Structure 1
Amino acid sequence: MSDARSVKSSNSGFRSLKDKLRSTFGRRSVDETNSPRRKSSTGENVPPGRRSLQRSSLDSRQGPNQNPAFKTQAERIKEARETGPKIDKQTGELRDDTLILHSLAHDSFDTVTEILNKYELDPNRKPGEPQIASLSPQLWIRITEHLGLVDRACLSIASKTLLDRVGSSYLNTLSHPENKEYRLSFLHRVEDQLPNHLFCFVCNKYHLRTIKGQEKLKPASVLNPLFNCPNATNNLMPQPRLRIATGRTLPFNFVQLALKGKKYGPGYGLDATTMTRLWREQDEPRWIHSSRYFVFKGHLLMRVQSTCYTKGGLTPAAERMLLYSREDYQPYFSVCAHWRDGLLMNICKCALTHLPVPPEKSLHEGLAKVAGRRVSQGAIITLCSNCRPMRRCPACPTEYLVEVKLAEDRSEKDPMKLFKHAIVVTRWSDLGDGSSPNSPEWAAVTGAIDNYDSISTIGTRAVSGTFESQTADTGPGQRILNLNPKDEHKGEEGHDWY
């Protein structure tokens, strides 16, 4: 019993000593003093506490800016994102911030190396006119035999030496009436050297701009000449233009100015955004129109949105009075030349049938009016599968969207009638590259040609989607169907449009 008591007292004394050491030096130092010793690579006994001292000394030598010896998974992922290649999350392509800033500053997506190689010239190079003059005229005649008429004319005006060798006969040939198309192509190539001129397609030559930098779109009833043309008032030879709405047209000269200003600079034309207009019809029904233009990949895109407040339950005669102008029996809103062929007007009439019919005078309506409340007439309207989708004209690059919305009428003085139902018809069109009225897009929209297939030419990327992607966050969320699924071309003979 005495031995057991002595062992117990010694254990309790050892525990009390260990607790005092823990409180003084910490738990780890005390535990490591009781751990067995290990041997180093040289065979010497190393105290267990030296390992922690060596690690602390290594950490102190690393410094605060150096990476720690051990990193977590989150730290490794963060470091890879910061120092690794930047990848676009949507397209998966590598992003180079330097090239992006360069393209935004210089309006070009060419790399810096490509631009330097493009403009890299040898300053010590001698003029090449003596070398050109050393070649015989017979050799130049043989060279021009492999060129077209327009290329020969361009070669002859490249320098005085080439004009002496090639001759000016090709320029005289271009002036013949039968070579009108070749003359137009030749003059189009030199437009970058004529910032103060506009090409007149009636006279087939350049005219000096009379109000350079101050050209503005005006109504069709206002005379708005941009240059002095002898055929300006000749009704038999009108300038090419496009109908936007009733009493509004877009002359082709403004298409030239918008595209030249985008291609060569503001001194050559106009900014397409300055052609934006908002106007209201003077007579009933007072349609509100807004037009906007945008240049995309060398083509001028146009959007015209027409709005008119209306009520439900219209008779067929009232629908025609709402949609058609009594001047030319064309719609008040903007349409292409093929609006009679297809379902455009039937879609508009179908959308009008979805408007809620106002209730008749009743006791319930009278009580609501006395209480100062407005009778609900269905603010949110859902169109059917026939009139809801967008429609694309198969004969030209034009798309339509018919909607029925609840819009605010700011001309209404009664505060109880500020918000009304309105029919909204939006049109998107591609007006071409502005090279000529005979360009495929412009000729198709105006109806000058009938062999344009917009379904195969435009493809899956819609004109409306391209336009709205540059001006808004999202495009129209509707599918696109054929405006003329039966491929009928009756024109005036078809009576469904009226």
Structure 2
Amino acid sequence: MINQSQRRPSLTSRLATVFRPKRSKKNLNSIQSDTSLTTIPQHEHESLRNDTIYKSDVRTLDEQTGERRDNTAMLHELAHYGSFESLYDETKSSVENLHVPGERNISRLPYILWQKIVTYLSLCDTVCLATASKTLLNRIGTKHWHLLQEPDYEEEKIKFLLTLNQRLPQHLLCFPCAKYHKRTKIGNETLRPTMVLNPLFECASVGRYGKTQPKIRLTHGHVLPFSFVQLVTRAHNYTPSHGIPVLSLCRRYKDRESGWNHQTRYYIHQGHLLLRVISQKFAAPGLPVSGQRHLLYSREDYMPYFSCCSHWRDGDLMDICKCALSHITDPYHMTLKQSTIQRSPSSSLLGSLCSFCRPMRRCPECPTEYLVELKLSEDIKDPIVRFKQSIVITRWSDLGSGASPSQEWSAVNGEAAYDSFAKLGKRAISAIFEAQSGVAIPGQRLISLNPKNLKRSEKANDWY
């Protein structure tokens, strides 16, 4: 019996023991979960119940508004933020904002009525009205755009291009081409003498017959192109990036050939650019007629050395300058009695002007005024006679608004009719210009530069 109890198990029983299925772990997990619940505190255990998990919390209330914050809605908004689903809403809102109020009422008006309205407008106004909205463009049509390309409507085309001036700060309108050109020296435009090549933009019509840039003559060898007037007025009316400051045009220079000293200054008043040019030259006393002509005129083109408008031949401007030169006194040719009495500084060193050359003059055909004076100036180069008498000719001109070669600009160049006394009235351009710096001009009569309304040509000899 003992041997039978110590017998080894059979092969079948051993295989059954090896391939016996293992015990399941479900009971172990349930036991561990039960034990973990018992370790959780009581208040945390209560928060896991279904009836208390969605209860409101004080932390979800906004401190300022008192509104309850919905975390679920916040998560949904974050999910759609920046996604493709929000592009439709943004596009729809932007399209709705593009519609001008009242545009639907415009579309209801019949086509015949709009064609009747166009007949009362100019070509420039019609094109501007058509570009106001897409609805107006469909009603008015595009045939007026093709009319702007014709040479007969070049003025209307320029008027339309001027409406785009504020939108193109890096371009300048070329009036001979009727196109906008790119500025090549943005912010670095500098006014230079006539003999110096100084292009502000690249124009294909340079050198062609009849395609010259508008400009006015300042003094001998110096001109003012209209492009600089555009830059100054654009910077004043819009932003500094549209042009250059007005003080950048001011100059002080001397003509080495003639000895005339010139000083130019500009000022903007009520949108118009005002110009002042002061020309000064030492003059000897007792000059003959030939000496006066040699002092006043250039031998190259027989134009005055000082600044003047295009109507200088018609009026009394040159006669006034010659009369002022005749009043220069010689301080060394005095009698013995005069020398003993006038040892102290006396006013006899400075000649006095007469009633013909003293008053201020205004050109009746353009907004330009002149004043001729005799002053005692210092000559640094002469060590013996330091103070000499000099003739001073001051010119004030109104160059217009600067948007286009307006009526004032064309009148100064002699290209358009202009009645200065009717349009300027009693207020002088010189008074407006000098008032901005606080300088008071001595009381002067303001009379016409050409009271007899004479028209002198180059063939006549009386102007010279």
**1:219–1:156 CA distance, 2 compared to 1 (3 A):** same
> What are the equivalent positions in structure 2 for 1:270-349 lying under 5 Å apart?
270-283=244-257, 285-349=258-322
CA contact (8 A) 2:260 2:305 kept: yes
Match of 2:404 in 1: 436
TM-score (norm 2): 0.73
CA contact (8 A) 1:356 1:377 kept: no
- The corresponding residue for 1:447 is 414
Corresponding residue number in structure 1 for 2:367: 397
Counterpart CA distance in 1 for 2:296 and 2:436 is: 30
- Work out the CA distance in 2 between the residues paired with 1:486 and 1:136: 60
Q: Residues 272-302 of structure 1: CA distance to partner in whole angstroms, max 9, x if unpaired?
A: 222101110011x300001111111111110
Q: Indicate if the aligned counterparts of 2:350 and 2:389 stay in contact, CA closer than 8 A.
A: no
Distance 2:242 2:212 in 1: 24
Other-structure match for 1:256? 230
Give, in angstroms, the shift of residue 440 of structure 1: 1.6
Structure-2 change in CA distance of 1:255 and 1:359 (3 Å):
same
The answer to whether the aligner puts 1:408 opposite 2:378 as a matched pair is yes
Q: 2: distance between equivalents of 1:297 and 1:247?
A: 30
Deviation at 1:148, TM superposition (A): 2.6
How many residues are paired up? 366
Contact 1:243 1:334 in 2 (8 A): yes
- Note the alpha carbon deviations across 1:158-213, whole angstroms, 9 max, x for none: 23343334332211111111111111111112211111111111101111111111
Which AA in structure 2 matches 1:227? F
Tell me the CA shift for residue 234 of structure 1: 3.3
Secondary structure of 1:347's partner? helix
Code of the residue aligned with 2:138 in structure 1: it is D
Q: How far apart, in 2, do the equivalents of 1:247 and 1:418 lie?
A: 29
- Which residue does the alignment assign to 2:441? 475
Instruction: Give distance in 2, aligned partners of 1:318 and 1:143.
Output: 67
Equivalents in 2 of 1:293, 1:316: separation in Å? 34
How far did residue 376 of structure 1 move? 7.3
Q: Give the CA deviation at 1:363.
A: 10
Alignment of 1:172-211 (within 5 A): 172-211=146-185
Query: In the TM superposition, what are the counterparts of 1:34-183 in structure 2 within 5 Å?
Result: 127-128=100-101, 132-133=106-107, 137-183=111-157
Cα shift at 1:483: 0.8
Show the counterpart of 1:489. 455
Aligned mates of 1:234, 1:180 — CA distance in 2: 18
SS at match of 1:308: strand
Letter in 1 for 2:424: I
Report the aligned-residue RMSD.
Answer: 2.8
Which residue does 2:70 correspond to in 1?
Answer: none
Cα deviation, 1:311-350, whole Å, max 9, x if unaligned, reads 1011111111100011100100001111011111111111
**Cα distance change, pair 396–124 in 1 and its aligned pair in 2 (3 A):** closer
Q: 8 Å contact 2:124–2:157 — kept in the other structure?
A: yes
TM-score, normalised by the number of residues in structure 1: 0.68
Shift of 1:462: 0.6
Determine the C-alpha separation between the residues in 2 that align with 1:466 and 1:293: 12
Aligned residue identity for 1:466: I
Q: Match for 2:389 among 411, 421, 438?
A: 421
Which segments of 5 or more consecutive residues in structure 2 lack a partner in the other structure?
Answer: 1-95
> Structure 1 residue 362: deviation in Å?
10
- Match for residue 5 of structure 1? none
The one of 187, 200, 205 aligned to 1:231: 205
**One-letter identity of the residue aligned with 2:423:** T
Letter in 2 for 1:421: Q
Contact 1:242 1:251 in 2 (8 A): yes
In 2, Cα distance between equivalents of 1:299 and 1:362: 54
Q: Deviations over 1:90-133 (max 9, x none)?
A: xxxxxxxxxxxxxxxxxxxxxxxxxxxxxxxxx99975455555
Q: 1:361 to 1:458 in 2, by over 3 A?
A: closer
The 4+ residue runs of structure 1 with deviation greater than 6 A are 123-126, 361-367, 373-377
Task: Report % sequence identity.
Answer: 47
Check the 8 A contact 2:330/2:349 in 1, yes or no: no
**Cα gap change, 1:417 to 1:234, in 2 (>3 Å):** farther
Q: CA deviation at 1:456?
A: 1.3
Given that 1:225 and 1:232 are in contact with CA atoms closer than 8 Å, whether structure 2 keeps it comes out as no
In structure 1, stretches of 5+ residues that fail to align are: 1-122, 368-372
Mapped to 2, the partners of 1:492 and 1:460 lie a distance apart of 32
SS in 1 for 2:126: helix
What residue is the counterpart of 1:78 in the other structure?
none
Tell me, yes or no, if the aligned pair for 1:358 and 1:377 is still in contact at 8 Å: no
Rate the CA distance shift 1:424–1:179 in 2: closer, same or farther, 3 A.
same
Residue 361 (structure 1) shift = 11
Q: Which has the larger radius of gyration?
A: 2
Distance 1:235 1:309, change over 3 A: farther
Counterpart contact for 1:397–1:441, Cα < 8 Å? yes
Alpha-carbon distance in 2 for matches of 1:388, 1:270: 38
